Structure 1
């Protein structure tokens, strides 16, 4: 038998090696395949993005709940040391115009602000302007923007958390706030909360206006004027019927209805409701669909109603 020549074998192996190299060379994507991959990625992003956003909002709502608990604890500690709850707002003529916020600074670990504030003067006078201009993280719900008042020379900070002025309106006389845990110049003790601390809302959320430079009072919670530091339970949460000075207020975040009395409902950017802290320190998520009589019962401190 005749054996193949070495040169023939070398040629054969070289041809086979080149053939294998060509066959193993990676093939690129065609345009159609690339478009299919992009489409699949787009579908996956579309499916995952809402879940990611929902998870982020859930985390923000938990942070908001934690902040409300701190406010509720501050109110409780204030009562332990003073024997009364802080006044909702204070107005003694042109002097001593204040809200509940400065009274709670020390309980919120803001001793420097508290000690630098002169409670014998109004929030916009003298040394007090330094304290009211200071923005604190605990002022703001993470789901809402961190607003800052630029409508006047005082540049006071806004906030997301306001106290419960009951079922009425801001322009009620002082005696008409008897059913609310807070009011203007109103002294309240635990014994005055006849409906029970666990069934009386103390503090909830308010949305700040969309434009920092407008004269919307919402969230202007260092100012005792009009309705900056309170919410009312006259209507259910996020119900879209705020009534303040409509000519000065934008439609966002809620319509403004031209009616007398001045009232502000609890509002938030959480889907479906608002957080609210009760007199016993618990925080609950209150649904937008809550029945109005139940909501108003929770807003009253002496009504004898039941929330169940």
Structure 2
């Protein structure tokens, strides 16, 4: 009897490998979609927590926190010149709402007790997970010894961003703002409150201030967004009109030295396919496509513009 050999021929092995490759190719998009769905759900939850924190602040102090405690010349409303330590914004007074009491107390002690600038404190590199979008690969960026921790969530200052002193914009948050619910006459469900931005990676000695909560040098354009351009717009925007080099332009988050009108204008952008998540003034979170009609998106950025929103 001749011996029988067992095993695969080379042709059979190649066919099996090809079939496995096809199955992986079919499954990979589904896996990626499932992962993005989970990340989007986490981002929605993060924004919901910020919205509720802002509401809790309003319940406690009868107004929303200022978008920034200094104007575009770095001067606080209480006076004291531009070399003061109050160059910070809305994120810091919300820390207790995120169960970050120890971080908040350490920050207050150094800034108001010792006169230390926020970005020079010993706590500016602490990462607050609630301020990170899991879809952004650069989320949680830290610029050591300069800008500190950068996050993905910013507040809306209105249509154009910040202009002039930045103290009288048409959105909910701006320099020295004291917005109350009664001021949102467009309706809390029709007014954007919290948006997303993309964190630009560092490049050598160049830094990008967008999302840098610990530095409001020049008026806080780094953590206030404008609704001038549609979500995920590739039109260059400006994070700091006065200081060239305080940005890093990337294909997904282009930035320029100056823009039309000289505004601090940060556009809402995200890594979520097709649009951005946005928290409205009623603390609800909605997804707005990048194809939204621009007049509607612009109207969502104002608190009392009296616009009639319809369509998408």
Using the size of structure 2 for normalisation, the TM-score is: 0.84
Residues 155 and 251 of structure 1: CA distance in aligned 2, closer, same or farther (over 3 Å): closer
User: 1:202 is matched with which residue: 179, 193, 210?
Assistant: 193
TM-superposed CA distance for 1:225, in Å, is: 3.0
Give the 3 Å change call, closer, same or farther, for CA 156–123 of structure 1 in structure 2: farther
Corresponding residue for residue 21 of structure 2: 42
Q: CA offsets, 1:5-59, max 9 Å, x none?
A: xxxxxxxxxxxxx78xx6xx67210000000000111111111101101110110
Which among 144, 149, 153 is matched to residue 157 of structure 1? 149
Matches within 5 A, 1:1-308: 27-91=6-70, 92=76, 93-95=82-84, 96-118=86-108, 120=112, 125=117, 129-144=121-136, 145-150=138-143, 153-174=145-166, 176-177=168-169, 179-211=170-202, 214-226=206-218, 227-244=221-238, 247=245, 248-257=247-256, 258-259=258-259, 260-308=262-310
Contact 2:156-2:171 at 8 Å conserved across structures? yes
Partner secondary structure for residue 135 of structure 2: coil
Structure 1 position 64, deviation (Å): 0.3
Q: Computing the radius of gyration over CA atoms, which structure comes out larger, 1 or 2? A: 1
Distance in 1, Cα, partners of 2:162 & 2:131: 22
Per the TM alignment, residue 211 of structure 1 is displaced from its structure 2 partner at its CA by: 1.9
* Structure 1: tracts of 5 or more residues without a match: 1-17
Cα distance change, pair 97–235 in 1 and its aligned pair in 2 (3 A): same
Unmatched runs of 5 consecutive residues or more in structure 2: 71-75, 77-81
Specify the SS of the correspondent of 1:274.
strand
Q: Which moved more, 1:68-77 or 1:241-250?
A: 241-250
Aligned to 1:9: none
How far residue 121 of structure 1 moved from its aligned partner, in angstroms, is 6.9
Distance 1:161 1:124, change over 3 A: farther
Mapped to 2, the partners of 1:192 and 1:56 lie a distance apart of 39
Cα distance in 2, alignment partners of residues 26 and 231 from structure 1: 71
* Residues 255 and 304 (structure 1), Cα distance of their counterparts in 2 relative to 1, 3 Å cut: same
Cα displacement string for residues 75-103 of structure 1 (whole angstroms, at most 9, x for unaligned residues): 00000011110110111122211110111
TM-score, length of structure 1 as denominator length:
0.85
Residues 104/126 of structure 1: CA separation in 2 closer, same or farther (3 Å cut): closer
Q: What is the CA-CA distance between 1:185 and the residue it aligns to?
A: 0.7
In the TM superposition, structure 1's runs of 4+ consecutive aligned residues that sit over 4 Å from their partners are 121-124, 245-248
How much has 1:172 moved relative to structure 2?
A: 3.4
Distance 1:37 1:192, change over 3 A: same
Question: Higher helix share goes to which structure?
Answer: 1
**CA distance 1:169–1:279, shift in 2 (3 Å):** closer
